[in-house]
A = this chain, B = another copy of it.
Amino acid sequence: MTLKKTDNAPLTRRSFLERFGMVGGSALVMSAMHSWDLLGAQAGPRPQLSGRPKNARVIILGAGISGMTAGYELSKLGYDVKILEARDRVGGVNWSVRRGATHTELGPNGETQVCTFDEGMYVNAGPWRIPHWHEGVLGYCKELGVPLEMFVNEAEASYFYYEGDNIGPLANRRVRLREVKADMIGYTCELMAKCVSQDRLDMPLTADDKEKFVDFLVNEGYLDAADHAYRQNTGRGPGDPHDFKALLQSGFGLRIRSVMSGTGQAPMFQPIGGIDNFPKGFQRALGDRIQLRMEVQSVRQSESDVKVTVRNLTTGQVQTLVADYCVSCLPLTVLGTLDVNLSTETMAAVKATQYSPSAKMGLQMKRRFWEEDDRIFGGHLYSNLPFGEFSYPSNGYFGQKGVLLGFYGNGRMQNVVEMPVKDRVEHVLKHASKVHPQIRTEFESAYSVFWEKVQYSLGAFSGGGGRASANGNDRLSVIGRPDGRIYLGCAAVSGDGSWMEGAVGAAWKQVKALHQRAMAS
């Protein structure tokens, strides 16, 4: 046993991702990367700042998580803060779609949807789960009084369902996660126990060590105590174990680990009642510092101040606000389209930042058939079907109705983003009914959010495709430093825009920089 620090099996994971990327499209790779993210964005400790600035007026663009984090911290320090938000709600991509929610997609054929879910039903169309490592977000939830419940990111009862020629005998079949775990580890323990008994180990073990090791293997792998064979057991549930070679060929075993890694490790959390209760907590604290329905027209900085011209979408009135500093927490996709006198270098880095075309669709079901018929409570379907991640709600257990997340992945897969809304729904129902035939009769209504077609977002999160770019570090350092009196505070600045924790970390970084400068001046 060697104990030197090392990276964590990158080749195998990558080859797994590539393998299923070929089978299932890029969304599966993306979704696997989410679950397995090795490090996860952690914003680190909240900056401990002190001192009150003199006459420091700050205009923050965008009342998403980063904008409200920046506004909250700057307000506490005594800044005169205004947060301008074009939408009629806070949160940005943090959006829980409920009855009556509506948006019109951009583009020549952009459809308008109005959510017809029952009262109390919702789908989190943007972020949805908070790793317990994300102390920035969780700390604010605690401070702002946002109650949290467990988000189930792994459920033993979940099905695998893979189509394809290279999957082998287990293709087009429902196989439970608990069966894969018990069988793969059971077979491994059986083979290991034989090696130990027959002294074929490459390691010196005393007779006592060997006995204890075999005890462990027998218990861990549900082996027969007498002959150390792996057979039926109460861990995997009813039925005979799957064939070992068929399991190897399926690749299902590559979804399991001794213990989940990093951000995917249980527990994860979600605000009770919808993820938007997190931004609503900030909104309660910030009060009228946030102005809704204020659309930024231009930002002009000079050596002495920043002028922000905004249009009030309710009255149509246009006005110009003046501040000492501006923190833009708009998505870079949106900032890149605005009339802002950033330096050429900053604007180039802004425009070079890629955003994910990630999309989500919630489907309300008359009956929670996955619970009643399949005893599945939360967690995901593991499949290569063309809808990315398909997930069961981690709330409302044993209620009557529920909202399934039927699509979470790259909206462009199989060109779903270009389909009429009803065809997108049919796409999900068609493929999901291979696993859950009940879904057609239980379906009531759907709502889909394809973020690249959503005004004021123009994409789901930064990092999709852009994180690994050769000049990523240069780009990050450019967007992370102040451009005159303008700071960029959106999640992309943290280097991991795919988590709310990245938004918090980006805001902290810029609040700290701005405060140091304001106090020094």
CB pair A219–B254 under 8 Å, yes or no, is yes
Closest to A395 in B: B149
Q: How far, in angstroms, from A1 to B202 measured CA to CA in the complex?
A: 23
Q: Which of chain B's residues have a CB closer than 8 A to the CB of A190? A: 1
Judged by a CB distance under 8 angstroms, whether A203 is at the interface is yes
A338 to chain B, nearest CB (A): 37
Q: Which of B9, B212, B221, B398 is close to A249, meaning CB atoms less than 8 Å apart?
A: B212
Contact A248-B181, Cβ < 8 Å, known A397-B149, A398-B141: no
For A269, list chain B residues within 8 Å (CB): 397
Bound-state Cα–Cα, A253 to B235, Å: 17
Q: Is B233 a contact partner of A261 (Cβ separation < 8 A)? A: yes
State whether B184 touches A215 (Cβ < 8 A): no
Shortest distance in angstroms between A399's beta carbon and chain B's nearest beta carbon? 8
- The chain B residue sitting closest to A213, CB to CB, is B248
Q: Would you call A64 an interface residue if the criterion is a C-beta within 8 Å of the partner chain's C-beta atoms?
A: no
> Most chain-B CB neighbours within 10 Å: which of A133, A156, A192, A225?
A225
Q: Please give the distance in Å from A259's CB to the nearest CB on chain B.
A: 4
Q: Does A302 contact B (CB under 8 A)?
A: no
Answer whether A178 and B259 are a contact pair too, CB < 8 Å, given A148-B398, A155-B266, A222-B9: yes
Q: Closest B residue to A267 by CB, please name it.
A: B377
Contact A3 B240 (CB under 8 A): yes
Instruction: Give the residues in chain B near A203, CB-CB below 8 Å.
Output: 191
Interface presence of A285 (CB below 8 A): no
Binary CB contact string for chain A from 357 to 396 against chain B (1 if under 8 A, 0 otherwise): 0000000000000000001011000000000000000100
Picked from B141, B157, B244, B258, the residue with its CB within 8 Å of the CB of A222 is B258
Q: A188-B217, A209-B248 are in contact. Are A231 and B266 (CB under 8 A)?
A: no
Q: Is A8 an interface residue (CB 8 A)?
A: yes
In the complex, what residue of chain B is closest to A214 when comparing beta carbons?
B12
Q: Contacting A9 at CB < 8 Å: which of B181, B219, B397?
A: B219
Q: Chain A 15-43, CB within 8 Å of chain B: the 1/0 string?
A: 11000000000000000000000110000
Write the nearest CB–CB distance from A169 to chain B, whole angstroms. Answer: 14
A188–B244 Cα distance when bound, in Å, is 18
- Compute how far the CA of A327 lies from the CA of B1 in the bound complex, rounded to whole angstroms: 63
A466 within 8 A of B: no
CB contact list, A192-212 vs B, under 8 A: 192, 194-195, 198, 200-203, 205, 209, 212
Contact B141 A2 (CB under 8 A): no
**Contacts of A399 on B, CB cut-off 8 Å?**
142, 147
Decide if A267 touches B378 in the complex (CB within 8 Å).
yes
Decide: A8 near B261, CB < 8 A? Known: A253-B216, A266-B155. no
Contact B132 A220 (CB under 8 A): no
* CB <8 Å contact, B155 and A212: no
Report the minimum CB–CB distance from A39 to chain B (whole Å).
7
Nearest to A196 among chain B residues (CB) is B191
The answer to whether A245 has its CB under 8 Å from any CB of chain B is yes
On chain B, the residues within 8 Å of A189 by CB distance are 188, 258
**Chain B contacts of A234 at CB under 8 A?**
8, 38-39, 261-262
Residues 224-261 of A at the B interface (beta carbon under 8 Å): 224-227, 229-236, 240-241, 243-245, 248-249, 251, 253-254, 256-261
Q: Are B251 and A219 in contact (CB under 8 A)?
A: no
CB distance from A496 to the nearest CB of B (A): 15
Residues of the B chain whose Cβ atoms lie less than 8 Å from the Cβ of A232: 3, 5-6
Contact A202 B209, beta carbon cutoff 8 Å: no
Complex partner residue of A377 from B7, B132, B218, B219, CB under 8 angstroms: B132
Cβ-based interface call for A323 (8 A): no
Using CB atoms, name the residue of chain B closest to A8.
Answer: B233
Contact A181 B221 (CB under 8 A): no
Q: Tell me the A150-174 residues at the B interface (CB within 8 Å).
A: 150, 152, 155-157
**Given A191-B202, A231-B4, A233-B8, does the pair A258, B132 have CB atoms closer than 8 Å?**
no
Contacts A178-B259, A191-B203, A233-B261 supplied; 18 other A-B pairs, CB < 8 Å: A5-B231, A8-B233, A9-B219, A12-B225, A38-B234, A149-B150, A150-B152, A150-B378, A178-B265, A182-B258, A184-B258, A188-B188, A188-B220, A220-B257, A222-B257, A235-B257, A267-B378, A269-B397
**A residues with CB within 8 A of B:** 1-13, 15-16, 38-39, 132-133, 138, 141-142, 147-150, 152, 155-157, 178, 181-182, 184-192, 194-195, 198, 200-203, 205, 209, 212-213, 215-227, 229-236, 240-241, 243-245, 248-249, 251, 253-254, 256-262, 265-267, 269, 375, 377-378, 394, 397-399
Question: Can you list 18 A-B contacts (CB < 8 A)?
Answer: A6-B224, A6-B232, A8-B233, A9-B219, A9-B222, A9-B223, A11-B225, A15-B215, A132-B375, A148-B397, A150-B394, A155-B267, A185-B258, A186-B258, A191-B203, A216-B248, A222-B258, A233-B261
